[in-house]
Amino acid sequence: METVKNLQTILAFVQVAGLKSFSAAAKELGVSKAYVSKQVQKLEDELGQRLLNRSTRMVELTHAGGKFYEACSASLYNISKAQEEILQNADSPHGKLKISLAGAFGEDYISPFLGSFIKKYPRIQVELHFEEKLVDLVKESYDIAIRVGPLKDSSLIAKKIAIRKEYICATPSYLNLHGIPKIPEDLKAHNCITPKDNWNLFLNEKLAPFRVNSNFKSNNGRSMMKATLADLGICMLPGVYVRPYIESGQLVSLLESFTPKEVPIWALTPSRKNMPLSVKAFLEEVASQFDAKTF
């Protein structure tokens, strides 16, 4: 980091070498001639090389000074161009947008939404990562994560974009054959399509685990949905999987007063400070698209 610390001395030297005058360099930099002279002397002392030959009427580069001037000038030009490019892009969303998400909501809603989003902002490059694990947005360099339910990390900035609702349902054929459960206790006489042994249901006005019987377990929502549509039993899945089938009559919603309350779907970002325009654009567009609707 020594180069960064010496940047002021380098800037002073480049101005003097380019203008061949301490006075002109001082005027260009908006400082005193004495300050410029002190900075150049400091640089020469640190390098152990004379960079400029001085006289009362002129300033000339030494051989070492000439080589150093060429290298520094090129580097400062590149820095200036990089800064100019960033400033030119400051009012237009651009760059990579790395997003973590999971499940059917990501596949069926976020992915299609991103098609129109990229058409609107063609300079943004989206990178989607589908994964069930909770990623560390900062350590793993994510810009956004789509998550469901209570938030554990209070340091993240959260924007609610939609709501998820759970449904307990089965096909009319299955219910005609095995009967319709009216209360959770009735589920004990049914086969339940589930990822685990317990469902969280509202019992005695509070959410509690309720043990169910199953001969088909899966941690994949689509496979559970298909098993349910094949008349294998009763499932409990988010609306994103089963609502279209409920609306078409292929599935029947059950025990609605016992299912969990609606839970929020969040778009999470690491920080509001210096938030890239690409992230701001995504948050605005996704909130407008889904408008806190229930899925």
What's the pLDDT tens digit per position in 50-89? 999 987 778 899 998 889 989 888 888 888 777 776 665 5
Mean per-residue pLDDT over the chain, rounded: 88
**pLDDT > 90 fraction of the chain, expressed in percent and rounded:** 49
Say how far residue 18 (Cα) sits from the centre of its chain: 45
Q: Quick check: 236 and 194 in contact, CB under 8 A? A: yes
**pLDDT recorded at residue 76:** 85
**How many other β-carbons are positioned within 10 Å of the β-carbon of residue 294?**
13
Q: Which residues pair with 162 in a beta bridge?
A: 265, 293
Give one DSSP letter per residue of 118-173, joined into a string: HHH-TTEEEEEEE-SS---TTTTT-SEEEEESS---TTSEEEEEEEE-EEEEE-HH
Phi-psi region of 226 (alpha: psi -120 to 50; beta: other; left: phi over 0): alpha
Q: How far apart are CA 157 and CA 269, in angstroms?
A: 5
pLDDT tens, position by position, 157-182: 889 999 999 999 999 999 999 999 99
Residue 257 Cα distances to 198, 240, 244, 293, angstroms: 18, 19, 20, 20
Tokens representing residue 166 in the block: 């759970």
**pLDDT recorded at residue 134:** 81
pLDDT tens, position by position, 181-238: 999 999 999 999 999 999 999 888 888 999 999 999 999 999 999 999 999 999 999 9
**Residue, of 168 and 7, whose pLDDT is higher:** 168
**pLDDT recorded at residue 4:** 47
139: pLDDT strictly greater than 90:
no
**pLDDT recorded at residue 1:** 40
Radius of gyration of the chain (CA): 32
Give one DSSP letter per residue of the chain, joined into a string: -HHHHTHHHHHHHHHHHHHT-HHHHHHHHTS-HHHHHHHHHHHHHHHTS--EEE-SS-EEE-HHHHHHHHHHHHHHHHHHHHHHHHHHTTTS--EEEEEEE-HHHIIIIIHHHHHHHHHH-TTEEEEEEE-SS---TTTTT-SEEEEESS---TTSEEEEEEEE-EEEEE-HHHHHHH----SGGGGGGS-EEESSSEEEEEETTEEEEEE---SEE-S-HHHHHHHHHTTS-EEEEEHHHHHHHHHHTSSEEE-GGGSPPPEEEEEEES-STT--HHHHHHHHHHHHHHTTEE-
Q: How far apart are CA 249 and CA 254, in angstroms?
A: 13
All structural domains of the chain: 2-88 (1.10.10.10), 95-163+263-294 (3.40.190.10), 166-258 (3.40.190.10)
**pLDDT recorded at residue 135:** 83
pLDDT tens, position by position, 105-133: 888 899 999 999 999 999 899 999 998 78
Q: How far apart are CA 42 and CA 49, in angstroms?
A: 11
What is the residue whose two structure tokens read 């059917």? 104
**pLDDT recorded at residue 86:** 67
